[in-house]
Amino acid sequence: MHCGVAPPREVTGDLHLAGLAEQSFARRGDYPSLWFEGEWHTSGRLFERSTRIAAGLAELGVEPGDRVVVTMANCPDVGVIYNALWRAGAVVTPATFLLPVEDLRHVIADSGARAVLSTPEFLAKVTEAAAGLEHVRWLICTGDPAPDVVALATLEAAAPGRVAARADDDLAALLYTGGTTGRAKGVMLSHRNLHFSGHAAYAAGHLEGVNRALTTLPLSHSYGLLVTLAAMHSPERPVSVLLRWFDPAMFLALVEEHRLQLSAVVPSMLQLLLAQPLEQHDLSSLRYLTSGGAPLAPEVEHEFCRRVPSASIRQGYGLTETAALISTNPPGGVKAGSVGLPVPGTEIRILDDRGRAVAPGEPGEICCRSPGVMAGYWRAPESTAEALSDGWLRTGDVGYVDEDGYLFVVDRKKDLIIRGGFNVYPRDVEDALVEHPAVQMAAVVGEPDAIHGEEVVAFVALRPGAAATARELIDWSRARIGGYRYPRRVHILDSIPVTPVGKIDRKALRPRAVR
Ligand code: AMP
């Protein structure tokens, strides 16, 4: 692996992501491909912009292997900029715009970024985050030029140039993840990693004629990136309606207005959609939703499919460390509750605590090997050695594979609560709570406890207009999941905190569980 620091080579690999973008454009030609906030953008214009910006970046001095941090809310510029960076041979280093300034500084400093690209609303934060970091040569911003900042429009004035040579194993993206213990780590993904997972997601999930998508995941997260890359492999002319960020009412209005057929979501989005008057919208165009990133409660899946009968839900599973993909439910082969079959090219093993393979149906740590698995964490050999050996990645998730080869995710290993010697998976308790008709969302964490070691504590948000007391929810859970697992305390909140990609944020709730 030549991680960003390798000198530019004369070889352009077959899996170069900018080459993929060229091939997609050559195949499909110019057509209205992207809708954003009332405006259509054509594939030709988007592609041309990226070729010009790539040339402008090279003229500015951005070199192959340079890390460039991109911190923007979803908008058409994000895809244009990613492709421009790949054309210039640079390493796309996304940082969600929701990051506080010190976390953004960590990404900029740790990656050794030479440039940071942003939009006017985040420029003050970016300037503060990059202050004094000598490796940062340029701040680049959309909109009107500001002093000491390069305007994206200036770069776009350059004449289109060629794709910079990169080998397949050169770094294409550095995605910061984790941070539950210590600082976020940069996951090194090569052109090969991302090309593989994009193609695998497309091959496993593409249905002819189903190509009108709503894109609401943040493009700064591996899942959003995966969905975008998968669409580049489609032989058809896919259309994407892009949301700046997830908004349930807007989601429904846009599906209805544009007759959208598919969308990729995280489970909390489905839970928020269920609180909407779904029946008042014509959602009959919706064929399927892919759900990933976090456990999907069976109740949420059933209710959504009951209320939107045209749609089915296909769960998939992956980590940033696997370029977002390990398994998915193929259309026509969906198994409820499962995250599907390993995508072709991916091997899965379920290992016990001593590293031995367990029998089908037995839970253990999910380990995976595939061309999508990262080369390691950026400048963190110890963390890399803990996560990877012989190309096998330890996911840190507990799961099992059934007799048919379908994978089921139980929960994250580190979120396991051990109460009085019994294992309690927060997910089981959360699933039981969301079965209660008044509960919209639930998050369960362990609290240190002098008697039992840990105690099970739940946080719930109720559906709009619904009522339930903590006592009632405790009794409900006890009746469903029995004596040792039910939550001894339930806190009712206005809303459950979620991470930037929309996953329930148990980490943020843990301190609130302590009495
Ligand atoms: P990230 O790197 O942010 O994408 O987080 C990856 C983690 O999300 C995995 O290790 C799992 O714990 C969780 N995850 C992803 N997909 C699923 C899924 N379908 N069901 C349950 N957990 C999931």
Over residues 480-487, mean pLDDT: 92
Please tell me the residue having the least CA distance from ligand 1 atom 21: 295
pLDDT digits (tens, 9 = 90+) for 92-137: 999 999 999 999 999 999 999 999 999 999 999 999 999 999 999 9
By three-state DSSP, how is residue 38 classified?
coil
pLDDT digits (tens, 9 = 90+) for 262-299: 999 999 999 999 999 999 999 999 999 999 999 999 99
Beta carbon of 413 within 6 Å of any ligand 1 atom: no
Residue 385 CA, ligand 1 centroid: distance in Å:
21
Length of the chain: 515
Tokens matching residue 112: 């050794």
Give the integer Cα–Cα distance in Å for 275 and 136: 45
242 φ, ψ to 5°? -105, 135
Residue 469 CA, ligand 1 centroid: distance in Å:
31
Q: In what order do the strands lie in the sheet with 489-493?
A: 439-449, 453-462, 489-493
By three-state DSSP, how is residue 373 classified?
coil
Give the integer Cα–Cα distance in Å for 96 and 81: 15
For 416-513, the fitting CATH number among 3.40.190.10, 3.30.300.30, 3.30.1360.70, 3.40.50.620 is: 3.30.300.30
pLDDT at 6 over 60: no
Residue 114 CA, ligand 1 centroid: distance in Å:
31
Give the type of residue at 310.
Answer: S
280 φ, ψ to 5°? -85, 0
In angstroms, the Cα distances linking 307 to 248, 253, 265, 283, 427 are 15, 16, 17, 10, 24
Residue 8 binned pLDDT confidence (cut-offs 50, 70, 90): very low
Beta carbon of 177 within 6 Å of any ligand 1 atom: yes
Beta carbon of 397 within 6 Å of any ligand 1 atom: yes
Q: What is the pTM of this model?
A: 0.94
Give the integer Cα–Cα distance in Å for 254 and 249: 9
Residue 81: closest CA among 35, 41, 117, 33: 117
| Helix locations, 388-469, DSSP H | 426-434
pLDDT at 404 over 60: yes
Give the integer Cα–Cα distance in Å for 119 and 475: 50
Residue 295 CA, ligand 1 centroid: distance in Å:
7
Residue 412 CA, ligand 1 centroid: distance in Å:
8
Over residues 458-477, mean pLDDT: 97
Residue 10 binned pLDDT confidence (cut-offs 50, 70, 90): very low
Instruction: Give percent of the chain above pLDDT 90.
Output: 94
Give strand pairing partners of 115. Answer: 68, 138
pLDDT at 413 over 50: yes
In angstroms, the Cα distances linking 229 to 21, 31, 308 are 9, 18, 27
Q: What is residue 85's predicted lDDT score, i.e. its pLDDT?
A: 98
When mean pLDDT is compared over 146-150, 204-208, 316-320, 421-425, the highest value belongs to 316-320
In the chain, domain spans: 17-32+41-176, 193-413, 416-513
For 17-32+41-176, the fitting CATH number among 3.40.50.980, 3.40.50.2300, 3.40.50.12780, 3.30.420.40 is: 3.40.50.12780
460 φ, ψ to 5°? -135, 150
Please tell me the residue having the least CA distance from ligand 1 atom 20: 295
Give the integer Cα–Cα distance in Å for 135 and 260: 44
Tokens matching residue 227: 């969905």
| Helix locations, 438-505, DSSP H | 470-481
Average pLDDT, the chain: 95
Residue 5 binned pLDDT confidence (cut-offs 50, 70, 90): very low
Beta carbon of 506 within 6 Å of any ligand 1 atom: no
Give the integer Cα–Cα distance in Å for 49 and 82: 11
pLDDT digits (tens, 9 = 90+) for 237-255: 999 999 999 999 999 999 9
Over residues 158-172, mean pLDDT: 96
Beta carbon of 442 within 6 Å of any ligand 1 atom: no
pLDDT at 444 over 60: yes
Instruction: Give the residue, out of 265, 397, 503, with the most ligand 1 atoms within 8 A of its beta carbon, to mutate for a pocket test.
Output: 397
Beta carbon of 340 within 6 Å of any ligand 1 atom: no
pLDDT at 459 over 50: yes
Residue 386 CA, ligand 1 centroid: distance in Å:
19
By DSSP bridging, strand 392-401 and strand 407-412 are: antiparallel
Give the type of residue at 450.
Answer: A
Asked if domains 17-32+41-176 and 416-513 share a fold, the reply is: no
Instruction: Give the residue, out of 221, 225, 339, with the most ligand 1 atoms within 8 A of its beta carbon, to mutate for a pocket test.
Output: 339
Q: What is residue 450's predicted lDDT score, i.e. its pLDDT?
A: 92
Over residues 147-158, mean pLDDT: 96
Give the type of residue at 490.
Answer: V
Q: What angle do CA 280, 497, 227 make, to 5 degrees?
A: 65
Range scoring the smallest mean pLDDT among 62-66, 141-145, 176-180, 509-513: 176-180
pLDDT digits (tens, 9 = 90+) for 34-67: 999 999 999 999 999 999 999 999 999 999 999 9
Residue 370: closest CA among 177, 172, 198: 198
Residue 54: closest CA among 130, 162, 146: 162
Under 8 Å between Cβ of 191 and 13: yes
Q: What is residue 182's predicted lDDT score, i.e. its pLDDT?
A: 67
Under 8 Å between Cβ of 440 and 468: no
Q: What is residue 482's predicted lDDT score, i.e. its pLDDT?
A: 87
Give the integer Cα–Cα distance in Å for 158 and 52: 5
Beta carbon of 141 within 6 Å of any ligand 1 atom: no
pLDDT at 3 over 60: no
The CATH number of 193-413 is: 3.40.50.12780
Residue 195 binned pLDDT confidence (cut-offs 50, 70, 90): very high
pLDDT at 179 over 90: no
